[in-house]
Structure 1
Amino acid sequence: MSQPSSPEGRARSSSPAADQVSAGNALWADVRALLPSTKKDLKLDFSEKVEESVISLLQQARDLLYGAGSLCSGGTRETCLQVSEIIIDYSWEKLNIGTWRDVDKDWRRVYSYGCLFKVLCMCSEQGTIADAIRVCDMGLLMGASILDNILVRIINVLQKHLTYGKRSAEEDTKESRRKKIRNDHTTIPSVKSEEVIPRLHCPSLEHFRENYMIPQKPVILEGIVDHWPCMKKWSLDYLRQIAGCRTVPVEVGSRYTDEEWSQTLMIVNDFIDQYIVNKNSIGYLAQHQLFDQVIGRKYIRLYSPQESENLYPHETQILHNTSQVDVEDPDLVKFPKFERAAFQACILTPGQVLFIPVKYWHYVRSLDVSFSVSFWWS
Structure 2
Amino acid sequence: MAAPGGGEGPAGLAGGPAAGGALWAEVRALLPGAEEGLTLALSGEVEDCVLPLLRRARGLLYGEAGRPCGAAAAALQRLGDVLRDYSWEKLNAGPWREVSKAWRQVYAYGCLFGALAEVAAGRPLAPAVRLCDMGLLMGASVLDNVLARLVRVLQAHLPGGKRRAAAEGSAKRVRTDPPPVPVVQPEVALPHVHCPSLEHFRDNYLIPQKPVVLEGIIDHWPCMKKWSVDYFCQVAGCRTVPVELGTRYTDEEWSQKLMTVSDFINQYIVNENTVGYLAQHQLFDQVFGRKYIRLYSPQDSENLYPHESQILHNTSQVDVEDPDLVKFPNFRKAAFQSCILMPGQVLFIPVKYWHYVRSLDISFSVSFWWS
Task: Please confirm whether the aligned pair reaches a TM-score higher than 0.5, indicating the same fold.
Answer: yes
CA distance in 1, matches of 2:18, 2:125: 15
CA distance in 2, matches of 1:339, 1:201: 33
Compared CA separation, residues 333 and 208, structure 1 to 2 (3 A): same
TM-superposed deviation, 1:94: 1.2
Select the residue among 137, 151, 158 that pairs with 1:155.
Answer: 151
Q: Out of 47-56 and 280-289, give the one that drifted further.
A: 47-56
CA distance in 1, matches of 2:369, 2:320: 24
In the superposition, the TM-score normalised over structure 2's length comes to: 0.93
One-letter identity of the residue aligned with 1:138: M
Check whether the contact 2:44–2:102 (CA below 8 A) recurs between aligned residues: no
Identical columns (%): 65
2:192 aligned with 1:199, yes or no?
yes
Which is richer in helix?
1
In the superposition, the TM-score normalised over structure 1's length comes to: 0.91
CA distance in 1, matches of 2:116, 2:167: 32
TM-superposed deviation, 1:125: 2.6
Name the structure 2 match of 1:333: 326
How far does the alpha carbon of each residue in 1:318-366 deviate from its partner, in whole angstroms, 9 at most, with x for none?
Answer: 1111110000011111111111211100000100000000011000000
1:352-367 map, 5 Å: 352-367=345-360
Check whether the contact 2:211–2:350 (CA below 8 A) recurs between aligned residues: yes
Compared CA separation, residues 367 and 74, structure 1 to 2 (3 A): same
Q: Structure 1 unaligned runs (5+)?
A: 1-14
Name the structure 2 match of 1:73: 69
**Over aligned residue pairs, what C-alpha RMSD do you find?**
1.9
2:266 aligned with 1:273, yes or no?
yes
Compared CA separation, residues 257 and 16, structure 1 to 2 (3 A): closer
SS in 2 for 1:220: strand
CA distance in 1, matches of 2:357, 2:175: 21
Q: Out of 135-144 and 253-262, give the one that drifted further.
A: 253-262
Q: Structure 2 unaligned runs (5+)?
A: 1-10
One-letter identity of the residue aligned with 1:90: Y
CA distance in 1, matches of 2:252, 2:13: 51
Select the residue among 221, 231, 234 that pairs with 2:224.
Answer: 231
How far does the alpha carbon of each residue in 1:168-218 deviate from its partner, in whole angstroms, 9 at most, with x for none?
Answer: 6x985x74453133xx14110000000110011111111101110010000
Name the structure 2 match of 1:55: 51
Q: Out of 187-196 and 75-84, give the one that drifted further.
A: 75-84
Name the structure 2 match of 1:187: 180
Check whether the contact 2:172–2:266 (CA below 8 A) recurs between aligned residues: no
1:118-197 map, 5 Å: 118-165=114-161, 167=164, 172=168, 175-181=170-176, 184-197=177-190
How far does the alpha carbon of each residue in 1:9-51 deviate from its partner, in whole angstroms, 9 at most, with x for none?
Answer: xxxxxx9989322221111111000000101111023467312
1:3-22 map, 5 Å: 19-22=15-18
Number of aligned pairs? Answer: 360
One-letter identity of the residue aligned with 2:278: L
CA distance in 1, matches of 2:13, 2:257: 38
Compared CA separation, residues 36 and 309, structure 1 to 2 (3 A): same
CA distance in 2, matches of 1:302, 1:48: 46
Bigger radius of gyration: 1
CA distance in 2, matches of 1:167, 1:34: 28
CA distance in 2, matches of 1:175, 1:105: 38
TM-superposed deviation, 1:167: 4.7
